[in-house]
Structure 1
Amino acid sequence: MAITTVVPPTRNTLFTLVRGAMTGGVIGASLAALVVGAVIRSVPLFVTGLGVPAVYALLVFLAGAPRRAREAAIAPRTALAMTESVEAAGGEATSDVAVRFVSTVVPDEAPAYRVAFTQHVHLADLPDYRVGGVVVVQYPPGRPWRVRIVKRPTPEWEERAAGARIDPAPGPILTSENLESSAVGFVRLLAMLLAAAGVFLLLRADLFNEDISAGSPSSTRPSVSTSGSSSTTVVTSASGTVTLGPHQSFLDQGELREAVTALTQDTDAHMGLTVVVQDRMLSVVYAPTGSQTPTFDLHSLPYERFPALVKEAGSSLGAESPQTWELTVERLTGSLAIRVGVTGAGGTAWLEADGDANVVRRTPAR
């Protein structure tokens, strides 16, 4: 049988590099978003870090759907192949073994070529695939490297394989594993690092409590006098924090609204993403300019009713039980929600209220 070599099919190198860069960028940006979102406790950012890879994978799947449909509509090509080498690649603990084959494939109407591919083979069938043996294989038209051995060929092909003699073909070996070049790997790694660095750079103010927008001395106020005692107020372009001094509490009348006013009086950030209040600490995350995340007016909250909500949430713990509490305000689900958790010796009790501080749900301590 006369054998000539086949030229390996050309692949779109530019497309492969671009796809590698996009994949690396998505991986780097998503991992950075997950880390930063967890550190700064930003639920939208953390969810984005989870959602972007899923959306990207879906888009890649949909983009490849037409090609897969075209391949499915075209019958695969059948040819004879001579096994040059057989090597177990893994799976010894199961009945099927991953076997790496190097074979010379001889299509009826195309030049012969060499190909390396991996296929799972049952342990009982391993003796059938000996070096020098001829088998029947199939591959999609236009993708000769995606070779698969036909385990039960038709009688005609089985008879042809039994009487065929094939010599090894010279030339390069195609691979069914679609191994990437070092250039693609380098581009992917570079894109991953650049994307991760970009996310950290954009959110460095939240991570390191820096003001990257104004840069003016008024953006950070190290000390503010509140209710006759010292307290600390820190404001950046993305968040604000008020820490009360000893013998003070945000349950005191007017203390909470006065602190919120201090956080917004020297800035245009009146819309917030979240508000978290503890006994002596208030944290506010401002809504970024152009944010599509649901926000709320920081001045519209019923701060005067917050102490009553904390007291009602902890009523099931008993008056003598030492208690710590935390109140959170957010609109991630679309409607404003106020959640209060009070912890004492009897456990943790929860309460949820609407934007007018009307209680809608209670969870007693257990």
Structure 2
Amino acid sequence: MTITTSAPPSRSTPVALARGFLTGAVIGGSLAALVVGVVVEKVPLFIGGLGLPIVYGLLLLLAGAPRRAREAEVVPRTALAVIESLRAIGGETSDVPVRFDLTVVPDDEPAYRVGITQDINLVDLPDYRPRGVLVVKYPPDRPWRVTIVKRPTPEWEERAAGAQLDSAPESTMVTEPSEGRSTGFVRLFGLLLAAAAVVFLFRVDLFEQQDSAASPAPTVTSTWSTTVVSSGTGTVSLGPDQSFLDDGELRKAINSLTEGKDPRQAITVFAQERVLSVVFSPSGTKAPQFDPLSLPYERFPALVKEAETTLGVHSPTSWQITADHLAGSLTIRVGVTGPEGSASLEANGEGQVVRRAPAR
């Protein structure tokens, strides 16, 4: 099998289009049935809105059984891979989801890049470092479904211990084929059509309810903030008119996650435009950790600005900041993405830039 480095083809086949339309219709029809059922006080309609997605999901499960059986018969390939980067992205148990950027080096095919997310136990987390060599496996017909082999055979373990692998360019990134724009369009069309059909069928009851229970329209505010703290993670979400690049917003959010609690160490801090997430370290763990209050949050807006203007991404569409201790010392990574590609820079614990990776 030859791995193509171009964008994967979309899957806008007639079957995919039909499935997309039905999926949209089920979503739109069930949501509309739930809302209309509550408004007009029709219990059967409400129950139908609840049951329709369940029945549709069971039908999809049964219809996909032959395909899953065929995929299960495919013998996976084993290969070596080198870790380009990694970051923990959440988790409340001893297994933490970690996002890996890997270069996979098959024995008889060109090397390629792939991004995967896999749960790693906190005890094993220090064993994974950038430029470390792993043993992975993947189906030959789906090279994007890479899985890290945590307990390889002695032969592969010996090969990984002595291997020196080069990085593949980002242009060789392999991803799962997308559904295509046409599939998304027919799904949206099915959703709107089904929702409109439910509303049309019960329009008389709806208009009667509106006439008999007229009430002033609620006031909607576009500035809000939500804070969720659990045993292992803390998340702060901002409203559509706010940003974590606003003056003092990051520091205030971190304080809200740690206020009134014993000092807690963090495994990673992850920030985007309106979402801040902290993965706290469970007590007693030996995983690399740091004090989340020690980060130079006042430097973050300037770091994002530098990444957006000096790394070759002229029209950035998104940014993200990750702080962790996984690479040996506290590292702050700032990534930006735009039409020109992705670029990043790294800063130390004081917010001073130490490495740049321009867009290619």
| TM-score normalized by the length of structure 2 | 0.52
Q: Offset at 1:17?
A: 4.6
Contact map agreement 1:5 1:112 (CA 8 A) in 2: no
Calculate the aligned-residue CA RMSD, in Å.
Answer: 2.7
Counterpart CA distance in 1 for 2:76 and 2:85 is 24
SS at match of 2:168: coil
Structure 1 residue aligned with 2:159: 160
Counterpart CA distance in 1 for 2:193 and 2:33 is 13
Structure 1 residue aligned with 2:104: 105
5 and 30 in structure 1: CA distance in 2 versus 1, 3 angstrom threshold: closer
131 and 187 in structure 1: CA distance in 2 versus 1, 3 angstrom threshold: farther
5 and 168 in structure 1: CA distance in 2 versus 1, 3 angstrom threshold: farther
Contact map agreement 2:10 2:178 (CA 8 A) in 1: no
Counterpart CA distance in 1 for 2:90 and 2:183 is 26
1:198 and 2:197 correspond: yes
Contact map agreement 1:5 1:111 (CA 8 A) in 2: no
Kindly report which structure 2 residues correspond to 1:51-70, keeping only aligned pairs within 5 A, or say none.
51-70=51-70
Structure 2 residue aligned with 1:19: 19
- Work out the number of aligned pairs and report it: 206
| TM-score normalized by the length of structure 1 | 0.51
Counterpart CA distance in 2 for 1:179 and 1:55 is 26
Counterpart CA distance in 1 for 2:5 and 2:179 is 21
Residue type of the partner of 1:195?
Answer: A
Counterpart CA distance in 2 for 1:17 and 1:127 is 45
Give the % identical residues.
62
Structure 2 residue aligned with 1:78: 78
193 and 183 in structure 1: CA distance in 2 versus 1, 3 angstrom threshold: same
Contact map agreement 2:86 2:101 (CA 8 A) in 1: yes
Q: Deviations 1:198-244 (Å, cap 9, x if unpaired)?
A: 2101221232259xxxxxxxxxxxxxxxxxxxxxxxxxxxxxxxxxx
Kindly report which structure 2 residues correspond to 1:117-128, keeping only aligned pairs within 5 A, or say none.
117-128=116-127
SS at match of 1:49: helix
SS at match of 2:89: strand
Structure 1 residue aligned with 2:349: none
Q: Offset at 1:94?
A: 2.4
182 and 130 in structure 1: CA distance in 2 versus 1, 3 angstrom threshold: farther
Counterpart CA distance in 2 for 1:5 and 1:58 is 35
Q: Which has the larger radius of gyration?
A: 1
8 and 146 in structure 1: CA distance in 2 versus 1, 3 angstrom threshold: farther
Q: Deviations 1:19-46 (Å, cap 9, x if unpaired)?
A: 3332222111001112222333333322
Q: Offset at 1:69?
A: 1.0
Contact map agreement 2:104 2:113 (CA 8 A) in 1: yes
Counterpart CA distance in 2 for 1:8 and 1:25 is 29
Report 1 or 2 for greater relative contact order, CA contacts < 8 Å, sequence distance ≥ 6: 2
Residue type of the partner of 1:196?
Answer: A
Q: Offset at 1:82?
A: 1.0
Q: Offset at 1:191?
A: 3.1
17 and 165 in structure 1: CA distance in 2 versus 1, 3 angstrom threshold: farther
Structure 2 residue aligned with 1:47: 47
Consecutive unaligned residues of structure 2, counting only runs of 5 or more, are 210-360
Contact map agreement 2:81 2:103 (CA 8 A) in 1: yes
Consecutive unaligned residues of structure 1, counting only runs of 5 or more, are 211-366
Counterpart CA distance in 2 for 1:5 and 1:25 is 35
